[in-house]
Every structure is written in structure tokens, then in C-alpha cells.
Structure 1
Amino acid sequence: MSKKLNILVSVMDGVGHVNACIGLSQALQKRGHKITFVIEKAYKGKLAEFGFEEEIIDRNEESSDETKPKTDKRPGEEAATRLAQSGLFSTMSSLEKLKKMSKMPIFENGVQRAKKDNSKFTEIVVKLNPDVIIIDDFVGRPALIYSGKPWISIFSGNPLFAIEDDKTPPFSSGYPSNGDKSGWNEFKELRAQVFAGQALKLYNDWLQELGFDVSQSKMVVPISPYLNIYGYPEELDYTDIRPLPNNFCPIDAFMRNDPKEFKIPDKFENRDKIKSKLIYLSMGSMGSVDVNLMKRFVEILSKTQHKYIVSKGLLAHTYDLADNMWGEASVPQTNVLPLVDLVITHGGNNSVTETFSYGKPMIVMPIFGDQYDNAQRVHEKGYGIRLDTYSFSDKELLDSIEKLLNDKQLDERLSIASKRMLNSDSISKACERIESLVK
């Protein structure tokens, strides 16, 4: 494309969401386009590391409560804190957790936050006059979707979140796609209550106050009439079950290039690679705040002959690793993955797609949301093992590790998938479709 576009990216507070948008934005940047992120203050400077411009939303400035201390939060800290306080770190089923979430004003609060900062977004749009707007958020701000600019919705989670039909399991259920469907309707009805319900009424009332038509979506989450993009490998995607809507564009992964260099720690360099494999453990920015769970992993895995790289999370300072482990609060995941033999993950969408990109087997231990869907899809497609995060036995975890490390057929299947993904032009095609929106 000869014209270089001015692209505005608006992304919610969530490390996974931000990382996905970075991956797509790097591909667009490489094609010569200018990228500006509208981002929470916690991420200030983080996007500049990738060569992007930043427009900062500082909610401390919006608070009128002078009794609350104004402290700077770390990326993902607010969302992780809410999850830690939610009671979802438990043995409850996905349905039970959804019922618990139905009593929390998650999306109502999202609409209220959007109402407070919509004018700031209006100012940014006027100031930057973007050619295209990319949105990854649970609430579509009127300042963006009614700006007169073509806008794209990014779904950085499992594709069931974006595309719901009668042929695929309900989003965040983790139900098998080829199993008993008797519980699907109950889950879908409850999910509609959580993701829409009072929040959608609040949102539509707001749109009417502003003089806009009400949303025709069944959820507050915006579906774009222009283009919707999600990241998921075709080997795991649900296109073998249902067709893809015309204005949806899948890419294999929102693979980002991390500028941080990484070298295997010296204490692992001279290990016996036949007996001792290198394993990566990450429960994500939110799951890792469950320190009791992380401590349990450390205790179990310390007894094996293998070595471990651990993404310790926001509360890294509150627990220690064993002698056969190394880790930090955050490690450069896309640099670590090519070096390891196996991944133990919570099943976040970026973690699953990036692990798959590098052809690594995975043990998926979901906590909430689309992590259940990713865990089930990896399991039922035969690319890894799903374990229950809060009721697994020591033996189950250790046996799963050995099974995957010694599965030669799986190694071959993963290698074929990895080669295809790493040579895929799906993200370039997505960029072309974005560019085609600007005449």
C-alpha cells in the first residue's frame, strides 16, 4: 500500500490484550504505518519500547475522592487484584464460576468507566485524526465507533467469544465440542446475563442520550461492521464445525517480537539434556497472583530431574523458587518458548497460540474465562493435556509431563504445525484487509 496510515489502537487494561495488539501493530508498523496506543497509565513507556506513540489515560486524574491515595499501578495489577478478590481461585466448575460472576457488576463497571473517559477519547480522535481505529475492549466507546472512521474489533481471546452459534460450545464453558450438549443452553443464557443484561441496558441508554442508535449486539462487546480479527491456529480453530462470517478475519497468532534479549540462565547451560528437560511454567499475569497455587507448583516440580523457567507474576517477591528453577516477575515469553521442551500454562490465548507456534506440547490448567475453552480445544485436538487446576494430584501432573515429553508422534504433529504457522502470511492478509478499509 502506497499510503501510510495513521492508526489508533485502543486497548483495555489486560496484559494479554495489550500483547495481542502489540503483535498486530508490529506487523502494521513494519508496513510503514504509524501506530498510536491509547493506554492506561500503568503501561506508560511500555509501548514506546516497541516504537509506538502513546496517549495515556490517567484515571487518577478523574477521581474526585481525595481520601484515596493516588498510586501508580503496574501493568495488569488492577485486573489481577479484582480476580484475586473474586473467589474464582477455587475448585468451582466453569458454570459455577459464571454464576458467581453474574453477581459481579463487571461489565456495568466497564460501561461506567467508558462514560467517564469518553470525552478524553473524543479529544484524542480530534487531535490525531486517525485513518483507522483498532479496538480491543469489552465496551465500544462512542467516541471511537461513531467517529466516522473505519474501526476494527480485535478479539484477543478464544474465537468462541466473538462468534457464537448453535454448533459450537458456549464461550468460557470449556465444554467438549463433540460431547453432551444438554447443558449448552443453560450456560449460554447465563453468559448472556453476565456479558449483556443490565450492562447492555446501561450502554444503550447512554447511546440514546448521546443521540446514537442502540447497539444491535447481544453483548456490550463491540462487533465491527467493518472488520473483526481474532488470533487462533487453524489446527485448533472451530472452522471445522461452523463457517466463518464474512467480516471476520482469523490470523494464526498475534505473535509479537519482544525486544528484550534472553539467554538460558548459566545454571541450566550444562544440564544433561537427555535426562533433564527445560520446562516453562506460566499461569499468566492474573493466575500467578494465586500464590498458594504457585507455591504448590514449586513444591511438586522441585522433586523432578527437570529444570524450570517460571514467570512468577506480580507477587514474585512473596515466594521463592526451588534450586532447579529460575524465574522473575515477568520473563520475555516469546524469547523463552523456542528454548524449552514443554509448557505448563493457564491457557491464556496468547500463551496457547505462541506455544503452538513454536511446536511445544502443553499442559493447560485453566482458571476462568476462555482459558477453559483453550484447554479443552488443545486437549480434544490432541496437542496437549488438560488438567483441573485446583484438584489435580501430584501424580497427574508428573505423569502428564513425562507422557508429553516422550510422545514422538505428538512432536512430529507439532513440528508440522509450527512450520506452517511460522511461515504463514495470515497476519499480512489481516493487514491488507485493514488497509483496504481506507480508500
Structure 2
Amino acid sequence: MPKTIAFFPEAAFGPALNSVGIAQAVQALGHKAVFLSDPGFLSVYEGYGFEAHPVNLSEPMPPEQMAKFWEDFINGHIPNFRKSPYDQIDNYVLDCWTAIVESARWAQKDLPAVLDRIKPDMICVDNVILFPAIKQFGKPWVRIISCSENEIEDEAIPPHLSGCKAADHACHAAYRARFNAVIKPLHDQFNAFLAENGEAAYPLGQFFEASPFMNLLLYPEPVKFTRSEPLNPAQFQYLEGCVRKEKPYEMPAFAAHGDKPLIYVSFGSLGAGDTDLLKRIIAAIGKMPYRALVNVGDYLGEYSDLPPNVVIDSWFPQPSVIPMVDAVIHHGGNNSFTECLYFGKPAIIMPYVWDGHDNATRVDETGHGFHLHRYDWTDADLAAKLQACLTDPAMKARLAATSAHMQSRNGQQKAAAILDQIVTTGAFHA
């Protein structure tokens, strides 16, 4: 009998589009997929043909005003993008967690009534914070971890958002200590919110818990961390990436270097606000024997006098573009990170915030690309890294093996099969 499976991703394109891919596979099995959504993201899900229900995650405001709020939030923090992950804790990271805690408070106002109206048989949540109404609804709930897998903590691996190397345990300890010290007043407020809603307090630094039913991690096997306590397959499953299908992309004509290697550059919809950096990259590539597609988001009007080997646009169907390119420069968002691995493309990651730091370190230390500081580079540095991406035989072999591994697993179908088993039987049997 068909079931209704509700997806509640964070209001960001990475989690949103990952859930779209899984929802498409769920519907192919005959179930109904619906979305619970920040009002500003309703059109994203509706654009893929899904029913979507608004849940306010902040004070209600028109979608364009909400988009402007986050644009201003990111742009106001651009000076902090120059800082190390450790030095971002008491500015960008704290401000983000403050907004995330506030989102849980707001969601709790709407969620009980929305869930009662939809009556889902299962809820899949992709976020970094607990929404008590989901846990208390009385149906199986599944946690999706679309960011770095270190969102599920382990003392032996780098803490989430730290950008530490896997073996640098001094870095791990320093980051954890600083994060906990800065976050404690906010964490105390969150625990008070949990108590108000009948939930037990979380340990310092923790804002969510693993689902007892299932936790789906997008991280692929070739870049997994070595944990002190391996995750139990009955409760944790790796999807090996989860790349959605997008419309085909028609390659434009380039006025110069039409037969040269193709580079794709994207810092995501929010990272596109760092126009000075993108202009610098465009100018650098303009002097190199390559072509480039550059995602400039909502800032098309900021660009003029482009080099003849560069084409810009406000959006690209990324899963259709990446298979066509030779290398990618991106910000380390988990969609870009896993899509490059899935299609076997080397990446230069210039992180600025959140798990971009973790993914940049991981792509470098596993030999799938390079971590390049967002600002401290020269044209010669960028040229050397691109040359290595295009010619290094060991990297090419490693990427080919990783791509073959991931594509053989089919993350969306694996996720859908797991969800199908839980929603129809009440449990997953590994």
C-alpha cells in the first residue's frame, strides 16, 4: 500500500536538492513524497512537481525579503571568510547557530498542525537541529546527513566545521574546546527549549541526535573517516552520494580557446556574493589556455568586459554540467563535493564557511583535488593547481575508481529502498 513520506530539508539548496533526488526515487516505488518547507523554498519543490507545505523557520516575511535577509547575512560576513575555521567560531559560526536555534523555536509553532494535516507515515529531516514535533509525532523519522559525515561525532575524527586534518588531534581538541566555550550560553537556551517541549537536555555542543530508525549519510566510502567506533549499519547507511537528475546542458560557444580544457567555477547561490573573488578568478583564468563556465548567482549585473574564454550565468544545472568539464573550482558545499567525486572530476576547493572547510581538507588529504586558501593565492598558484588537476596520473586513477564505485551504488535508489522497508515494516534490516 502506498505511503506518504514527508521530507523536511534545511532551507538551503544542498539539502533541498538532495532530498529532491531521494523523493524522486521514493515516488518511483509508488509512494507519495511531500515536502515541509521554509516558505521561501516552496517553489523549489513545486518546480520538481512535489506538493509542499510551508513551515515558518523565522518571523514570517515575503520570500523576496527572506532571500534578501540571507544575502545580507552572508555578505555582511565576507570579511570573516578570510579567517580560519577556529577564528570563525565566535562570529560566523555563532551567528549561524543562533539563527538555527531560533528556527527550531519557530518550527515548533507550525509543525504539530502541519503534521496532523498531512498525516505522513514517515518523516525525513535533513538539518543540524532537533525539531521536537517530528520526534514526537509517533511515526518513524529518518535523519539525512547531507553535510560532511563528521556531523555524526566521533572523538577520533575532526569535529564538524573545523577543517582539521584527520590525524591532527591537537587541532581537533582546540576546536572542540573553543566551540563549546563560545556556544555554551546559546546551548543552555536550546536545552531550556527542549525542556519546555518534553525533551531531555543534550550534552554541550550537541543540537541533534541520531535517529533510532535510520540515518543516511551522503559521504562516499573512498573519503570516509576512520572512526574509533564504526557506525552500526542497522542504524547508519552511507548513500555514496545522491546525485539528482537535471535537464541537459547545451554548451555555449566560446570566443577563444574553444578546444581547450573546460573549468567550471561555482561558490553556490550565497557564495556568489563574494564578487571580488569571482572577478579575480575570472581574470586569472582569462590569461590561461582554458575555457570556463562561472556561476555568478544573482550578480550578473556586476560583471563586464569578460575574457573571451569565460562564460558566466546566474545558474547552471550542475549535475549535467560537471560530467562535461575537466576540473571544478568550488566552495566545498557537499553537493559540489560529492558530485565531483561521483563524476570523477578533480576539484580545487576554496572554502569560506561551514563544512566547506572539512570538505576542502578531505579532498586534499585523500588525493581527489586540492585545498586552496580563498584569498592567499597567486595566479601562478592557481595555474599550477589546475595543471596538476588536468595531468596528475595518480589523481586521475583515484578519481576514476571513486567515480566507478559511487555510480555502481546509486544513492537515490538505495535511500528509497531503505525508506520503503522502514515505512512498510517499521524497521530496517541490514
TM-score (norm 1): 0.89
In structure 2, what is the Cα distance between the partners aligned to 1:28 and 1:366? 33
Q: Go from structure 1 to structure 2 and tell me whether the alpha carbon gap of 1:75 and 1:296 turns closer, same or farther (over 3 Å shift).
A: farther
In structure 1, what is the Cα distance between the partners aligned to 2:66 and 2:263? 25
Partner of 2:159: 170
In structure 2, what is the Cα distance between the partners aligned to 1:316 and 1:323? 16
Partner of 2:327: 342
Partner of 2:90: 99
* Runs of 4 or more above 6 Å deviation: none
- 2:142 is equivalent to residue 152 of structure 1: yes
Work out whether residues 328 and 346 of structure 2, in 8 Å CA contact, stay in contact via their aligned partners in 1: yes
Q: 2:371 aligns with which of 386, 391, 400?
A: 386
Partner of 1:19: 17
List aligned pairs for 1:116-265, cutoff 5 A: 116-162=106-152, 164-178=153-167, 180-193=168-181, 197-215=184-202, 218-239=205-226, 243-246=230-233, 247-258=235-246, 260-265=247-252
Structure 1 residue 413, shift from structure 2 partner? 2.5
Work out whether residues 184 and 204 of structure 2, in 8 Å CA contact, stay in contact via their aligned partners in 1: no
Partner of 2:393: 408
Letter matched to residue 21 of structure 1: S
- 2:267 is equivalent to residue 283 of structure 1: yes
Task: State the number of aligned residues.
Answer: 422
In structure 1, what is the Cα distance between the partners aligned to 2:13 and 2:65? 10
Residues 152-206 of structure 1 deviation map (CA, whole Å, 9 limit, x = unaligned): 11111110112x222112222222213x422321201223345x52333223222
Say which SS state the counterpart of residue 338 (structure 2) adopts.
Answer: helix
In structure 2, what is the Cα distance between the partners aligned to 1:241 and 1:76? 41
Say which SS state the counterpart of residue 357 (structure 2) adopts.
Answer: helix
Partner of 1:85: 76
Letter matched to residue 310 of structure 1: V
Say which SS state the counterpart of residue 292 (structure 2) adopts.
Answer: strand
Work out whether residues 265 and 295 of structure 2, in 8 Å CA contact, stay in contact via their aligned partners in 1: yes
Larger deviation, residues 51-60 vs 167-176: 51-60
Partner of 2:298: 314
Residues 72-121 of structure 1 deviation map (CA, whole Å, 9 limit, x = unaligned): 3289654343122124544321211123346x443233333332342321
Residues 291-328 of structure 1 deviation map (CA, whole Å, 9 limit, x = unaligned): 11111111111111211111112323222343211121
Q: Which ranges of structure 2 fall in alignment gaps of 5 or more residues?
A: 426-430
Structure 1 residue 421, shift from structure 2 partner? 1.3
In structure 2, what is the Cα distance between the partners aligned to 1:35 and 1:267? 41
Work out whether residues 43 and 74 of structure 1, in 8 Å CA contact, stay in contact via their aligned partners in 2: no
Work out whether residues 107 and 138 of structure 1, in 8 Å CA contact, stay in contact via their aligned partners in 2: no
Work out whether residues 13 and 75 of structure 1, in 8 Å CA contact, stay in contact via their aligned partners in 2: no
Letter matched to residue 111 of structure 2: F
Letter matched to residue 250 of structure 1: Y
Work out whether residues 295 and 315 of structure 2, in 8 Å CA contact, stay in contact via their aligned partners in 1: yes
In structure 2, what is the Cα distance between the partners aligned to 1:200 and 1:426? 34
Say which SS state the counterpart of residue 82 (structure 2) adopts.
Answer: coil
- 2:422 is equivalent to residue 432 of structure 1: no
Letter matched to residue 369 of structure 1: W
Work out whether residues 24 and 255 of structure 1, in 8 Å CA contact, stay in contact via their aligned partners in 2: no
Letter matched to residue 398 of structure 1: A
Q: Whose helix proportion is higher, 1 or 2?
A: 2
Work out whether residues 94 and 368 of structure 1, in 8 Å CA contact, stay in contact via their aligned partners in 2: yes
In structure 1, what is the Cα distance between the partners aligned to 2:386 and 2:229? 33
In structure 2, what is the Cα distance between the partners aligned to 1:136 and 1:76? 20
Residues 238-288 of structure 1 deviation map (CA, whole Å, 9 limit, x = unaligned): 147752244221111121112x331101337x9553xx1111001122222
Work out whether residues 328 and 348 of structure 2, in 8 Å CA contact, stay in contact via their aligned partners in 1: yes
Q: Go from structure 1 to structure 2 and tell me whether the alpha carbon gap of 1:41 and 1:204 turns closer, same or farther (over 3 Å shift).
A: same
In structure 1, what is the Cα distance between the partners aligned to 2:87 and 2:6? 38
Q: Go from structure 1 to structure 2 and tell me whether the alpha carbon gap of 1:198 and 1:25 turns closer, same or farther (over 3 Å shift).
A: farther
CA RMSD of aligned residues (A): 2.4
Partner of 1:66: none
In structure 2, what is the Cα distance between the partners aligned to 1:217 and 1:136? 21
In structure 2, what is the Cα distance between the partners aligned to 1:146 and 1:250? 26
In structure 2, what is the Cα distance between the partners aligned to 1:428 and 1:75? 34
In structure 2, what is the Cα distance between the partners aligned to 1:377 and 1:205? 36
Q: Go from structure 1 to structure 2 and tell me whether the alpha carbon gap of 1:44 and 1:33 turns closer, same or farther (over 3 Å shift).
A: same
Letter matched to residue 89 of structure 2: L
In structure 2, what is the Cα distance between the partners aligned to 1:168 and 1:418? 24
In structure 1, what is the Cα distance between the partners aligned to 2:65 and 2:299? 11
Q: Go from structure 1 to structure 2 and tell me whether the alpha carbon gap of 1:241 and 1:209 turns closer, same or farther (over 3 Å shift).
A: closer
